[in-house]
């Protein structure tokens, strides 16, 4: 029988108190121009990876990498929010703070699991052995913290002291799950410039046995695989991870780093073999994805809706970083399909009235549909569209100097998300191939104040990117630059706030 740690409640540490005070002080300086209204974002300060996503006592908890003292990356804390319905969220006190010998310079990413009546966080304790920022001299260990109320956590110390090989320094991002009588833990590791995924097993979350490396990288696979996740879906094993160091090829892997997956099988010797790596999202900003099993058995996923070394104008507004929408994963043959969580329909207000279709070259404003927090259903009829562009312009300014374009490029046979005029600092295109035999595209588009997320109706692809237009750039236009094809907005809703 699994034995879980069940500590007495302990007072909040002085470090946590200082972090909460800094967060409260930061709230008075925050500017809301770019702040999302129905996505998870920090109250103030910095956010990156989702650390632990878990269902505990009837509520969803999302933890995240957080620096409450500044809108820039720094010593990592664990921020915390919860929701009863995946739609409406409440900020909770910061869960973890660095400062002990084993996590002096950061409580890095990890995961959360429910063990009996205890909520357990498994995370990487990070220490700089040389100068801060010198990744050639670091120590990373795997640590445990527990809570009986899901709010106040007590550190239990280091549970995996060293990596499987002494020469491994980069050893982080533990993801833990239970299968029958055992807990399993997969982490990311780096040996020289070779990525490795070590797998461990435990009966109590404290003593861990190294089993083997689930997978290791080959030439062209990058040098480090961060935030690994291994789960079963419809009888297949899915290995989800975020590689660093993969080179762009054509339209693929254009971001600094990627998040993607391989579908295959974990054999009895703990080795994973499967299909080639596929990016999970094709936009500019999607990283460090992590999954959980929902209350009804669905596999959900969250990711950081930003990218390292990308423009982050909200830093000047004393906050930075947001998570993407919760998404449902389904497996069809050897590909994952991605859908917005079905609960998100609860955000819809009264639908916006509009004319449902428009045909012809040029562009046309849709005056009844405008805003910075919208869900739109966009239909592209590709029949006869053999040249030019067919699509929609969003977050348009009245003067036309700002707009975010989403269109089908007939010559390339690709759906393109174009940020060339999407506001402060951002630029560039991302796209996804469209089968030449496809006669139509049905898209669900979610706009928040500084983000756009596009989902193909049948889950075949998504495009997620940050945009930073002026607050008054709210217009919507339909556009067609060639002969043939039609575009329409089938439905449109303004969306409510998710914050309680």
d(C-alpha 323, C-alpha 300), whole Å? 13
Active site residue 409: no
d(C-alpha 140, C-alpha 320), whole Å? 25
Q: Which residues of 119-146 are buried (b: 16+ CB within 10 A; e: fewer)?
A: bbbbbbbbbbeeeeeeeeebbbbbbbbb
d(C-alpha 123, C-alpha 463), whole Å? 29
Contact yes or no for 456/438 (Cβ under 8 A): no
d(C-alpha 198, C-alpha 223), whole Å? 15
Q: Which two tokens stand for residue 449?
A: 């104040």
Single out the catalytic residue among 32, 33, 37, 49. Answer: 49
Cross-strand bridge partners of residue 211: none
Q: Which two tokens stand for residue 123?
A: 């995370």
**Strand stretches in 96-208, DSSP E:** 107-115, 118-128, 138-147, 154-160, 170-179, 182-191, 194-202
Query: On the CB side of 338, how many CA atoms lie within 13 Å of its CA?
Result: 26
The region that residue 57 occupies, defined by phi over 0 for left and psi between -120 and 50 for alpha, beta otherwise, is left
Q: Which two tokens stand for residue 85?
A: 């319905």
Token pair 């469209």: residue = 434
Q: What angle do CA 181, 185, 191 make, to 5 degrees?
A: 150
d(C-alpha 488, C-alpha 382), whole Å? 12
DSSP symbol at 11: P
Contact yes or no for 417/465 (Cβ under 8 A): yes
Q: Which residues are catalytic?
A: 49
């Amino acid at each position: 029988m699994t034995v879980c740690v069940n500590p007495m409640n302990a007072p909040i540490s002085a470090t946590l108190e200082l972090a909460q005070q800094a967060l409260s002080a930061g709230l008075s300086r925050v500017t809301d121009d770019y702040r999302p209204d129905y996505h998870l974002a920090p109250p103030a300060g910095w956010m990156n990876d989702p650390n632990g996503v878990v269902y505990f006592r009837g509520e969803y908890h999302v933890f995240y990498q957080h620096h409450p003292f500044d809108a820039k990356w720094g010593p990592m804390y664990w921020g915390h929010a919860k929701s009863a319905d995946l739609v409406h969220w409440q900020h909770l006190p910061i869960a973890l703070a660095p400062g002990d010998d084993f996590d002096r310079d950061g409580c890095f990413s990890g995961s959360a699991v429910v063990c009996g009546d205890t909520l357990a966080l498994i995370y990487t304790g990070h220490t700089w052995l040389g100068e801060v920022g010198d990744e050639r001299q670091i120590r990373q260990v795997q640590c445990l913290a527990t809570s009986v109320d899901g709010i106040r956590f007590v550190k239990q110390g280091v549970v995996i002291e060293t990596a499987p090989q002494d020469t491994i320094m980069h050893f982080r991002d533990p993801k833990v799950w239970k299968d029958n009588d055992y807990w399993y833990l997969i982490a990311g590791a780096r040996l020289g410039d070779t990525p490795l995924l070590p797998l461990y097993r435990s009966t109590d979350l404290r003593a861990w046995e190294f089993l083997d490396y689930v997978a290791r990288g080959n030439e062209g696979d990058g040098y480090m695989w961060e935030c690994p996740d291994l789960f079963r879906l419809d009888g297949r094993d899915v290995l989800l991870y975020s590689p660093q160091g993969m080179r762009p090829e054509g339209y693929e892997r254009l971001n600094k780093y990627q998040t993607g997956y391989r579908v295959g099988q974990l054999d009895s010797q703990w080795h994973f073999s499967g299909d080639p790596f596929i990016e999970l999202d094709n936009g500019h900003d999607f990283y460090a994805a992590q999954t959980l099993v929902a209350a009804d058995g669905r596999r959900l996923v969250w990711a950081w809706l930003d990218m390292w070394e990308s423009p982050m104008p909200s830093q000047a507004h004393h906050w930075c970083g947001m998570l993407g929408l919760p998404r449902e994963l389904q497996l069809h043959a050897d590909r994952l399909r991605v859908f917005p969580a079905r609960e998100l329909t609860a955000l819809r207000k009264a639908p916006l009235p509009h004319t449902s279709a428009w045909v012809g070259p040029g562009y046309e404003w849709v005056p009844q549909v405008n805003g910075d927090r919208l869900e739109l259903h966009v239909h592209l009829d590709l029949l006869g569209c053999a040249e030019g562009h067919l699509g929609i312009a969003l977050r348009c300014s009245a003067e036309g100097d700002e707009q975010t374009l989403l269109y089908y490029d007939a010559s390339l046979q690709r759906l393109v998300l174009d940020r060339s005029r999407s506001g402060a600092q951002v630029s560039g295109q991302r796209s996804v191939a469209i089968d030449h035999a496809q006669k139509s595209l049905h898209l669900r588009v979610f706009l928040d104040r500084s983000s756009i997320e596009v989902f193909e109706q049948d889950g075949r692809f998504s495009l997620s990117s940050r945009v930073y237009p002026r607050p008054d750039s709210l217009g919507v236009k339909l556009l067609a630059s060639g002969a043939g094809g039609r575009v329409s907005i089938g439905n449109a809703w303004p969306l409510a706030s998710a914050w309680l």
